Amino acid sequence: MEEDNLGAPTVEELEQFIAENQTAPTTSAPNESPGDFDGPEPDLIYRVGDEFYLLYELPLDRLGIDDEPHYVLYTGTGTIPQYEYKAESITAAALDKILAVSFDSGGYEEIEGDADIIDSYLEKIKRAAKSRPWILQKETTGDNAGQYVLLSMFIEQLFEPGQVISEAEYKAESDYINQFSQRQLNYWSAITYGEDPVNNAALRQLQQESSVTLASLLRTYAPEGVSEDVVDFLYQKHLTGDYSTAYLTEQVRYLAAPEFAALVDPEIKSKVGEITTGTKQFDQQAKSIVSKVMGKGYLDSLSSEEFSSISQSLIDPNGARILEAQLQEVFDATYPDKKGLNYSLISAAPRKLADRITGGLDEFGEDEGFFQELINKTSVTEQQKDLRKYGLQQGKQKTIQDLQLAIGSSFGQPIRRLMAT
């Protein structure tokens, strides 16, 4: 039995052999160290060889984006003693997937103390997105489809503010930029040189153009009381090039008369809510035009739908002229002997005559039929005769009193009462 154990290692020899020959794990620290790391704890830490990858999740939902998790990425070589135990090994393929949804922010030595990295990033991105809304757009076509290329380039520029990314570089990376209209390109090109219009002539010119254009459209079309939020929304849309001037016009027309707007952005609909068709200013103008050309009787005969349609037609800059021309055709057909005139003109003299003889007629009420016959008379003498007769028949006090005075003067005494027959 003893011969069988000859040459077999003892327990002590085995332990010594293992200690001398074991290899360091893949996650062991490299020889070099970048120094102390005092930044906030990352959400994920990966290590490939000597390279560390520190990732902080960027909550895209706080930017209004519904998407898979994305990360702010810092890299470096060395050791991070306090987080060394959290470093995970990762395959090259898995790392590529992580990097595809990460925004490279440089070396982790640039992290300042316990600063809230994510809140700092979010605030900078939110501020920038107000004037550069496209940075939150994901590429849908091209080699980088599915990635937030513009947001990544914006974050890159945060670390190199003096280095302006050229138009050619943007277009090479982002297919989204290549789909911009000329106005969008103009704004995008201007804003890359800063947001201060005092020191940015190109931006200042675009701002002035948008302000003047919108102010003119609001004066022409919009009802009173449009909120500042809506005005600012429309201004920003035109300034950034999202709205052409023609499209902006349709949105402003929608504020005044939804039924007459040809194409409306769903975003403006949700922003302003339900709009009552027609506006007070157009309603009053419509009443004035209809009454002048056709008379109040014609106006009163219109249904609410007909009047609303007439009122809303006035939002067009040429609406009043067109409406008058259309009503003139109706007038000429109604009063063929007075073509080219209008109700206001043909009724003025008979109305004054009626006021003098009868004390006034209910032109659009009980006396409407008689007044229509009156304005069709061509002789003033006939009009006077008909008015006296009608005044006596209807018991108009002015007509009766004038007749009493006339008879009394003829007989030299007043007549107390006269009944018309």
Number of domains comprising the chain: 4
Among 240, 270, 300, identify where a domain stops.
Answer: 270
Q: Supply the angle between the helices 280-294 and 304-312 in degrees, to the nearest 10.
A: 100
Integer CA distances (angstroms), 95 to 51, 54, 88, 91, in order: 12, 12, 11, 6
210 is a domain residue: yes
1 is a domain residue: no
Task: Look at strands 51-58 and 44-48 and give their pairing.
Answer: antiparallel
The SS3 call for residue 102 is: strand
Q: Is the pLDDT of residue 332 over 90?
A: yes
For 70-192, strand residue ranges (E) read 70-77, 88-89, 102-107
127 is a domain residue: no
Structure-token pair, residue 223: 């009802």
pLDDT given for residue 15 in this prediction: 53
Mean pLDDT of 337-346: 90
Q: Is the pLDDT of residue 211 over 60?
A: yes
Q: What is the DSSP string of 111-133?
A: S-TT--HHHHHHHHHHHHHHH-G
Each residue's pLDDT tens digit, 36-73: 556 678 889 998 888 889 888 888 888 888 888 898 88
At 212, phi and psi to the nearest 5? -65, -45
pLDDT given for residue 327 in this prediction: 93
Structure-token pair, residue 339: 């073509």
Give the number of C-alpha atoms closer than 13 A to the C-alpha of residue 89, restricted to the C-beta side. 7
Among 341, 364, 380, identify where a domain stops.
Answer: 341
Q: Are residues 322 and 348 in the same domain?
A: no
Yes or no: say if 416 and 408 are a contact pair by the CB < 8 Å rule.
Answer: no
pLDDT tier, 400 (very low <50, low <70, confident <90, very high otherwise): confident
Q: Are residues 291 and 313 in the same domain?
A: yes
pLDDT given for residue 159 in this prediction: 64
pLDDT tier, 244 (very low <50, low <70, confident <90, very high otherwise): very high
Mean pLDDT of 205-217: 94
Domain residue limits at 89: 44-120
Each residue's pLDDT tens digit, 89-136: 888 889 999 988 888 888 877 776 656 778 877 888 888 888 888 888
pLDDT given for residue 233 in this prediction: 92
20 is a domain residue: no
Q: What is the mean pLDDT of the chain?
A: 81
From first CA to last CA, the distance across the chain in angstroms is: 160
Mean pLDDT of 286-298: 91
